A and B are shown apart, each in its own frame.
Chain A
């Protein structure tokens, strides 16, 4: 009723292949982005930026990356945190060792380096499928954990194993690191939020472009029926490796952002197998093969425990109940919600979203 395609005719193929074919959707997207840039930046609290918005976007980018491999191309991977680790260490070492290196360029190059690593660990996908591929991507995870531990050069010989990132690392232009504006910008959580938001939007747009192009169709063709893909001339091996490259590119940038925009230090212990599972979880809960779903999954899996903890603080008064107790219970609650969701809607939040849109479309005529 309020929200429908009926009667909205497009006059050209160009208009028909727009990212958001519906006018309402386009307005919604513009408003949302404007809201994120202006309203949120002006009004949100430090806690909101650093503990909620930034990590959700960073994890959302990693989830999107994993979704490219798993959801769009059908290649299972459990190496996400390992690939993020490669991205984080690449960004750190590039900025540390190259004078003219800037944050945007370092983010991009760390994606490229992680992508290269992704291709190497994606090579077994040319011969093996499904669960066996998980083993090879797990190797990426363990390799990352091992290599950055075994070679302290990567950590610039920091004895503690955790490097805090000095302010002179944060430069958007070469030689700009000492300007007061720059320092103030990066010191503020707004600054880091704006950087994360911008990178995230750019990566989402690029992904949207990819999946509506020949590249995206090739990914999905390989996922759905690789023999038919081969027969119509799709280079299956190249398509898989490209998917691994782009997937790990996203994970690499997410890793770099994780350090530079979220926690402000570099520590390979963060990028452990648990985090790989967490991102996989986000993909499944959000919806395989959905960009929106990647972020919904990240929001849900990341934010629910916080909502529950804070909610119980609010209801029972902070400190009234043991925090460890609340934390464990929130895990049980989140786990239960996820199981119920996946039983009722195996397509995850993305499918839930699509079906509620469908209901809006036909309301009030049918269910």
Chain B
């Protein structure tokens, strides 16, 4: 659409409608996410942004519409196949494994790459030890990248909110996803933490070519880091394009930006 034609779509959402017991959360939304871009989804609370991410990785099944990821079309995406295909995810309300350490949380992000079976695990033979050490190496790189070295053995439940968000990003990143869905990764953070987080997101995008779909309320951040912005309001799409284009779109100004919240 508004993006250059030479860009390849990694994700195509077509005519998605989702309702909960008759209450519409998403109405007939279509948009594309292009490979390697940072795409921000914005809109007021209750607009259907989180629901949209849940549809993309199969947590919610839309009543209508199709999801095409990496050339494969689905009417019913499953969370497991989304993970297998390389869709990573963080949640608006942190969904860490609260009884586990930072290290174990991030290690669990690599579970799909671990092939040893439970017999090998129980006896610590065969692939078990070797895999564990290989993946530990990769996870340590993530820990270093996110600056979590000093808390790697700390139980996540005892960490500050901002750090927990960072650990959750690390867990998603550990799976080496092709596309990362980040649901308000900077909400409730201090300015400094926000800055760190947006640096991490940009670095992930740049260094690994990971496509990012991001929900964010801070327009400064959105304008700064997005290649592409999709605007939702009351479950409908009202804007879609490059950040400056979207900002000048009259519908968007009326429905969202113009209205003070």
- Give A residues with C-beta under 8 Å from B: 13-14, 16-17, 206-207, 209-210, 213-218, 220-221, 223-225, 227-235, 242, 246, 289
Q: Is the CB of B121 within 8 A of A217?
A: no
1/0 per residue, CB under 8 A from A, across B73-90: the answer is 000000110111000110
- Does A233 lie within 8 Å of B83, measured CB to CB? yes
Once the chains are docked, how many angstroms separate the CA of A231 from the CA of B98? 16
B108 touches A221 (CB 8 A): yes
Q: For residue A234, which residues in chain B have a CB less than 8 angstroms away from its CB?
A: 108, 111
Are B175 and A233 within 8 A (Cβ)? yes
B residues near A13, Cβ cutoff 8 Å: 132-133, 136-137, 140
- In Å, the complex CA distance between A223 and B108 comes to 13
- Bound complex: CA of A225 vs CA of B108, how far in Å? 12
Bound-state CA distance A242–B116 (Å) is: 14
In the complex, which of the residues A215, A223, A246 has the most CB atoms of chain B within 10 Å of its own CB atom? A215
Identify the stretch in B5-13, B122-130, B185-193, B198-206 within 8 Å (CB) of chain A at 4 or more residues.
B122-130
B97 interfacial by beta-carbon distance below 8 Å: yes
A206 to B99, CA, bound (A): 21
Q: How far is the CA of A102 from the CA of B64 in the complex (A)?
A: 61
Give the most central of A207, A229, A231, A289: most B CB within 10 Å.
A231
Chain B residue nearest to A223 in the complex (CB): B99
**Minimum distance in angstroms from B89 CB to a CB of chain A:** 5
B66 at the interface (CB under 8 A from A): no
> Are A232 and B175 neighbours in the complex by a CB distance under 8 Å?
yes
Structural contact, A231 and B112, CB atoms closer than 8 A? no
Contact indicator A214/B114 (Cβ below 8 Å): yes
Q: Which of A14, A16, A206, A230 contacts B122 (CB 8 A)?
A: A206
The complex places the Cα of A217 from the Cα of B112 at a distance, in Å, of 12
Given A214-B132, A221-B100, do A209 and B108 touch, yes or no (CB 8 Å)? Answer: no
Residue of B with least CB distance to A234: B111
In this complex, how many residues of chain B approach chain A with their Cβ under 8 Å: the count is 40
Residues of A within 8 A of B95 (CB): 225, 227-228, 231
| A159 and B196 alpha carbons, distance in the complex (Å) | 76
Scoring B97, B107, B128, B136 by chain A CB atoms within 10 A of each residue's CB, the highest score goes to B97
Task: Note all chain A residues with C-beta closer than 8 A to B114.
Answer: 214
User: Which of B84, B97, B112, B131 interacts with A221 by CB under 8 Å?
Assistant: B97
Are A209 and B122 neighbours in the complex by a CB distance under 8 Å?
A: yes
Task: Say how far A137's CB is from chain B's closest CB, in angstroms.
Answer: 21
Query: How long is the Cα–Cα vector from A85 to B246 in the complex, in angstroms?
Result: 68
Whether a CB of chain A sits under 8 angstroms from the CB of B118 is: yes
- Asked if B237 is an interface residue, CB under 8 A from chain A, the answer is no
Pairs across A and B, CB under 8 Å, 25 listed: A13-B132, A13-B136, A13-B140, A17-B133, A213-B116, A213-B128, A217-B111, A218-B108, A220-B99, A223-B99, A224-B98, A227-B79, A228-B97, A230-B79, A231-B79, A231-B82, A231-B89, A232-B88, A232-B111, A232-B112, A234-B108, A234-B111, A235-B80, A246-B122, A289-B99
User: Given A13-B137, A231-B83, A232-B83 in contact, is the A213-B121 Cβ separation under 8 Å?
Assistant: yes
The answer to whether residues A206 and B123 also contact, given A231-B79, A232-B175 and a CB cut-off of 8 A, is yes
Nearest residue, chain B, Cβ from A288: B99
The residue from A207, A215, A225, A242 contacting B97, defined by CB atoms under 8 A apart = A225
Q: Give min CB distance, A293 to chain B, whole Å.
A: 14
Chain B residue contacts of A213, Cβ below 8 A: 116, 118, 121, 124, 128, 132
Roughly how many angstroms separate A246 CA and B116 CA in the complex, as a whole number? 16
Is the Cβ of B100 less than 8 Å from the Cβ of A242? no
What CA separation (Å) do A231 and B100 show in the bound complex? 17
Residues of A contacting B133 in the complex (Cβ-Cβ under 8 angstroms): 13-14, 17
- CB contacts (< 8 Å) of A16 on chain B: these are 136
B118 contacts A210, C-beta separation under 8 Å: yes
Q: Chain B residues near A232: list those with CB within 8 A.
A: 83, 88-89, 108-109, 111-112, 171-172, 175
Tell me the nearest residue of chain A to B78, going by C-beta: A230
Q: Is B256 in contact with chain A by the CB < 8 A criterion?
A: no
B205 to chain A, nearest CB (A): 20
How far is B171's CA from A301's CA once the two chains are assembled, in angstroms? 40
Cβ-defined partner of A231 (8 Å) among B59, B118, B122: B59
B32 interface residue per 8 A CB criterion: no
Complex contact A225–B79 (CB within 8 A) = no
Given contacts A213-B116, A220-B104, 13 further A-B contacts (CB under 8 A): A17-B136, A210-B118, A214-B131, A215-B121, A215-B122, A224-B96, A229-B97, A231-B79, A232-B83, A232-B88, A232-B89, A232-B171, A233-B83
The 10 closest A-B pairs by CB, nearest first: A233-B83, A213-B121, A228-B95, A224-B97, A233-B112, A206-B122, A13-B136, A230-B79, A214-B114, A209-B124
Establish whether residues A210 and B121, one from each chain, have CB atoms under 8 Å apart when the complex forms.
Answer: yes
Closest Cβ of chain A to B193, distance in Å, is 22
Q: Closest B-chain residue to A237, C-beta based?
A: B80
Given known A-B contacts A228-B95, A232-B171, A217 and B107 have beta carbons under 8 A apart: yes
User: In whole angstroms, how far apart are the Cα atoms of A220 and B103 in the complex?
Assistant: 13
Cβ contact within 8 Å between A230 and B99: no
Check if B211 is an interface residue, CB within 8 A of chain A: no
Nearest residue (CB) in A for B168 is A228
| Residue B31 lies at the interface, judged by CB distance under 8 Å to chain A | no
Bound: A235/B79 CA distance, A: 10
Write out the residue numbers on chain B whose beta carbons fall within 8 Å of the beta carbon of A217: 97, 100, 104, 107-108, 111
CB distance from A212 to the nearest CB of B (A): 8
